[in-house]
Amino acid sequence: MTDWYNEDLAYIHDVGYRDYALKSMPGILEILQHDNISTGLIIDLGCGSGLSTEILDRNGYQVLGIDISGAMIEIAKTRVSAAEFRVESLFTAEIPPCAAVISIGECLNYLFDANSDAILDALFHRIYNALPIGGTFIFDAVIPGQVRPGEIVKSFTEGQDWIVLLEKQEDLEQQILTRRIITLRQVGDLYRRTDEVHRQRLFNAQLLSEALGKIGFQVEMRDRYGQFSLPPARVAFIARKPTGIM
């Protein structure tokens, strides 16, 4: 398995970048309750360090968390001992019968592995087939607009024992967002450096909605989860398997 979100970046993401998951979950729970999904198995695709998994577990759901990062899964197992976790690509993972599927934090955009349109379409079909009538698939995705054409944005964030240096740019011709991430994590009296380059495919929200609709989903697009407004250039999708489908 690839080493995306290595040990240091997984730790930093867990302690320093948890707001996205924590602020998204109240709105996601509202959607589940609205859709009469109050019990059952939830598949958490791209579960990361288990922040969303923990909230689902506390609210009475069974949870299967899937993530490509072994380091993230190790944190998640410690956080939520009752849940099941798997280290594998969410694009090729088996989706067992479940009440709902969620994927928070633009996980479907990542080009960590070969996620061609055919593989993404196959994932949508597997999710649709795994859901019961009335089941719900909730996720968010990145669209163009984080970085102006031709521009490279550089920033840094620091915590008590870590620093992250970030460089990002968009290639609108290829529809790719590239993030270069340098982490410095304190180990004893020294700081350990690691580097990762993350590439994300930028989706056309309308085309993505149409692809889900062709499979049979009824799709709603939003710019928020409940009271939490998504950051710029993100769209939330609520894809429901409608009643009356045999």
Question: 27 with 228: CB under 8 angstroms?
Answer: yes
**How would residue 244 be classed by pLDDT, with cut points 50, 70 and 90?**
low
**How would residue 115 be classed by pLDDT, with cut points 50, 70 and 90?**
low
The dihedrals phi and psi of 7, each to the nearest 5 degrees, come to -55, -45
Partners of residue 41 on adjacent β-strands: 62
User: Of 92, 90, 119, whose CA–CA distance to 102 is shortest?
Assistant: 90
User: In CATH, which superfamily holds the domain spanning 7-144+202-240?
Assistant: Vaccinia Virus protein VP39 (3.40.50.150)
Q: Which two tokens stand for residue 185?
A: 């994590």
For range 113-135, the mean pLDDT: 91
Question: 152 with 116: CB under 8 angstroms?
Answer: no
Question: How many angstroms separate the CA atoms of 26 and 143, rounded?
Answer: 23
pLDDT at 1 over 60: no
Question: How many angstroms separate the CA atoms of 59 and 80, rounded?
Answer: 13
pLDDT at 230 over 90: yes
| Tally of CB atoms within 10 A around 154 | 10
- The one-letter amino acid code at 151 reads E
Higher pLDDT, 118 or 153: 153
Instruction: Tell me the pLDDT tens digit for each residue of 160-197.
Output: 999 999 999 999 999 999 999 999 999 999 999 999 99
Question: How many angstroms separate the CA atoms of 29 and 213, rounded?
Answer: 23
Instruction: Tell me the pLDDT tens digit for each residue of 190-202.
Output: 999 999 999 999 9
Domain boundaries, the chain: 7-144+202-240, 153-201
Q: Mean pLDDT lowest for which of 62-71, 108-117, 208-217, 224-233?
A: 108-117
Instruction: Tell me the pLDDT tens digit for each residue of 209-222.
Output: 999 999 999 999 99
- Which CATH architecture does the domain made up of 153-201 adopt? Single Sheet (2.20)
Q: Looking at the whole model, is its pTM more than 0.85?
A: yes
User: Of 31, 232, 46, whose CA–CA distance to 137 is shortest?
Assistant: 31
Residue-wise DSSP of 167-209: EEEEETTTTEEEEEEEEEEEETTEEEEEEEEEEEEPP-HHHHH
What pLDDT sits at residue 27? 98
Question: 235 with 141: CB under 8 angstroms?
Answer: yes
- The one-letter amino acid code at 162 reads W
